[in-house]
Amino acid sequence: MTHPFAQPTSPLRNTSMAVAHDDRTVMRRASTLLAVAALGLAVLMALPRMAAAQDLFAPVIKVNDAVITGYELEQRARFLTLLRAPGDPNELAREQLIEDRLKMSVAKSAGITATPDQVMEGMEEFSARANMNAEQFIRALEGAGVSEQTFRAFAESGLVWREYVRARFASRVSVSEDELDRAERATAGSDVRVLLSEIIMPAPPQEAAAVQARAAELARLEGEAAFASAARQYSASATRSRGGRLDWMPLTKLPPALRPVILGLAPGQVSAPIPLNGAVALFQMRAIEETGVTQPEYSAIDYAAYYIPGGRSSDALAAAAKIKSRVDTCDDLYGIAKDQPEDILERGSKLPAEIPSDIALELAKLDDNEVSTALTRSDGQTLVFLMLCGRSTALTEGIGREELSLQLKNRRLIAYAEGFLAELRSAARIREQ
């Protein structure tokens, strides 16, 4: 029964309620569809990142049967950047990782591996150079985005290679008493002077293996005429037109690290390849003599380096010649560099052992206020206008014969190792993926 005061139900009201119900249903379905669509869009947007992450772990270089991933390249480059390694960190990372694969492969074939404890010891040793223990160094690396495994792989490769080199080449390395006698003279004032010839070959990263292999062949040259011919053909030094011949030079002017190598040469003998900054050097001993006049040891060398864009282009060399005509001393270079970026001119006094090897070698050929334009930087894109400002003399104490013998042996081991690594690289199948 219908209550007498009840309002009759309006057909319009029923329709409105139905529509409202349908609207809510539609809205719920729409919300669900929008949520699904949003999720799908998020997934689609994430796919490139997921693909990039997967690509990062995909092989990018194959070295014989071993692979190098994009992640390893990125990590090693970041690691080298933190270490402030000279050169392009990306290119250097590529070269190092290729060499690491070759080193680990040949060591494994010889049955040489490193235990986890030995690797950790190597990591501790490396960390100590930064005045940290391994744990502190690893935390610092991870804070900068470099994984512990990247550091561990770096340390392991170095350890394994060092053991392999000792096992393979140590029996070939010996130092005679006569060589030690001559090397001892290099530790303080000396009356020895040497007559050398040189071959300096640029070795940019992409050509480093080929240049090392060529240097290993040239190290076997016999006779001054053969060396002079090779210098004219391959050397980039200013002496190439003279067959690489240098003038008589006091031993104490040579870089300290080079003296034991030079003193270990007999007349006519060629040194093992010597790595420089972006180059490889070879020296032939033409003559050696005692003058009877002691030359002092140098405690510091003051020099200036002014950087000219263009490498060894005609424009850059012309600019260098113009600057040379305008300066008499290193102080004059401040006027040349005025209103230019600060890093275009470097001037300072350094210990001989702190000077880059290629610069130290050029400075050895110069007298005060003389100039060299033989060097470049930035893979040959920047010419170095190098000027010797002066040398400071000091008395030094000689080191013991045992330590000196060890230094000579280590340098020869390094030369053997670098030559063998160049051979490995020349024979390797290296493919970009």
What single-letter amino acid sits at 171? S
Confidence of residue 119 (pLDDT cuts 50, 70, 90): very high
- Return mean pLDDT, the chain: 81
Helix (H) or strand (E) holding 187: none
Residue 271 has pLDDT above 70, yes or no: yes
283-317: per-residue pLDDT in tens? 999 999 887 666 667 778 899 999 999 988 999 99
200-239: per-residue pLDDT in tens? 998 887 888 889 899 999 999 999 999 999 999 999 888 9
| Residue 4, pLDDT score | 34
Letter string b/e over residues 8-23, b meaning 16 or more CB atoms within 10 A of that residue's CB: eeeeeeeeeeeeeeee
Average pLDDT, integer, range 141-168: 93
Candidates 48, 149, 63; CA nearest to 106 is: 63
Beta-bridge partners for 350: 301
- Return d(Cα 12, Cα 14) in angstroms, integer: 5
33-89: per-residue pLDDT in tens? 444 444 444 444 544 444 444 577 788 999 999 999 999 999 999 999 888 776 678
| Residue 267, pLDDT score | 92
| Residue 412, pLDDT score | 77
The token pair that represents 156 in the structure block: 């392991």
Letter string b/e over residues 139-149, b meaning 16 or more CB atoms within 10 A of that residue's CB: eebeeeebeee
Letter string b/e over residues 82-112, b meaning 16 or more CB atoms within 10 A of that residue's CB: eeeeebebeebbbbbbbbbbbbbbbbeeeeb
Is 0.75 topped by the overall pTM? no
Of the candidate ranges 47-51, 123-127, 152-156, the one whose mean pLDDT is the lowest:
47-51
Residues 6+ apart with CB under 8 A from 154: 76, 79
Candidates 169, 133, 164; CA nearest to 151 is: 133
Candidates 196, 379, 167, 161; CA nearest to 281 is: 196
